[in-house]
Structure formats: structure tokens, C-alpha cells
């Protein structure tokens, strides 16, 4: 018995690619740029599937913005603290800032992946156009 929730083989490629790109985007090294690795993932996906990947990555980046905004809201009480506040309160505030930085970095990497995906998508359509032009010249 097959599950109706299981993606089709084409959808699986898209889901798998998005998962791989998210893993790459979550790398913590500050100097890490996921562009080349994302490009490698995209080469394994059909050009027709890249458009849905671009859309999903963009929506994921927008969700990161919401997460960052929520974390910023959680720090509104920070000005009520002073440098002599309870250690736990200051540590909690520090963790909120760490989490904001992580969420913002993930959003940044996802948007970079969107840009790279769009470039890849444009290149694939240009390749298709040049192939059809070359074929018509013969």
C-alpha cells in the first residue's frame, strides 16, 4: 500500500534538493558561502524543477525573517535590565542574540541560494534557446 503523502519521483527530486540546500545553508562557518555546493545540487535537478526550488527557497527565507522579527520582539524587555541584572537573564538575552544571528545567517544563505538558482535557471533556458537556434541554422 502506497502512501498518498509520498511525493512523486519528480517531486522527490525537488524535495531532496531543497533539503540538501537547507543543510548547506545551515553551515555555521562565517566564511562559508554555499554557492558552489548549491550549484552542484542544482545540476542534479531538471531545469523544469528548478523553478519550484527557487520559489520554495524564497518562502523559506521569508520564514527566517519572521523568526528574526519574533526574536527581536523577545528582546524588548532588555532595556529594563542593567549590567547588574541576574546572570540568567543576561545569558538568556545573549542566547536570543545568538539565535537571531543564526536565523539571519540562514535567511541570507537561502537568499543567496535563490539568486544562484535563478542564475542557473536563466542559464538553462539560454542553453535551450541557443540549442534551438543552432538547430534551426543547420
pLDDT tens, 40-86?
A: 777 778 877 888 888 888 899 999 999 999 999 999 888 887 878 88
Of 45 and 132, the structure prediction assigns the larger pLDDT to 45
Taking the model in full, what pTM does it have? Answer: 0.68
Q: CA-CA distance, 80 to 36, in Å (whole number)?
A: 45
- CA pseudo-torsion sign 99, 107, 43, 56: positive
Per-residue pLDDT, 101: 92
Contact (Cβ atoms closer than 8 angstroms) between residue 64 and residue 106: yes
Helices (H), the chain: 9-25, 35-43, 47-74, 87-137
Contact (Cβ atoms closer than 8 angstroms) between residue 117 and residue 38: yes
Per-residue pLDDT, 10: 55
Burial (CB count <10 Å: 0-12, 13-18, 19+), residue 116: buried
Residue 97: pLDDT band with limits 50, 70, 90: very high
Of 5 and 109, the structure prediction assigns the larger pLDDT to 109
**Which of 16-20, 21-25, 89-93, 98-102 has the least mean pLDDT?**
21-25
Contact (Cβ atoms closer than 8 angstroms) between residue 123 and residue 49: no
Amino acid at each position: 500500500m502506497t502512501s498518498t503523502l509520498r511525493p512523486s519521483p519528480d517531486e522527490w527530486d525537488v524535495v531532496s534538493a531543497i533539503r540538501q540546500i537547507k543543510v548547506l545553508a545551515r553551515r555555521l562557518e562565517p566564511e562559508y558561502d554555499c554557492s558552489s555546493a548549491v550549484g552542484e545540487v542544482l545540476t542534479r535537478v531538471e531545469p523544469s524543477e528548478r523553478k519550484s526550488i527557487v520559489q520554495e527557497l524564497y518562502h523559506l527565507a521569508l520564514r527566517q525573517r519572521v523568526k528574526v522579527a519574533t526574536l527581536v520582539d523577545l528582546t524588548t524587555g532588555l532595556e529594563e535590565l542593567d549590567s547588574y541584572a541576574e546572570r540568567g537573564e543576561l545569558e538568556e538575552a545573549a542566547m536570543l542574540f545568538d539565535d537571531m544571528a543564526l536565523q539571519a545567517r540562514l535567511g541570507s544563505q537561502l537568499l543567496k541560494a535563490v539568486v544562484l538558482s535563478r542564475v542557473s535557471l536563466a542559464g538553462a533556458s539560454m542553453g535551450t534557446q541557443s540549442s534551438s537556434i543552432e538547430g534551426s541554422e543547420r
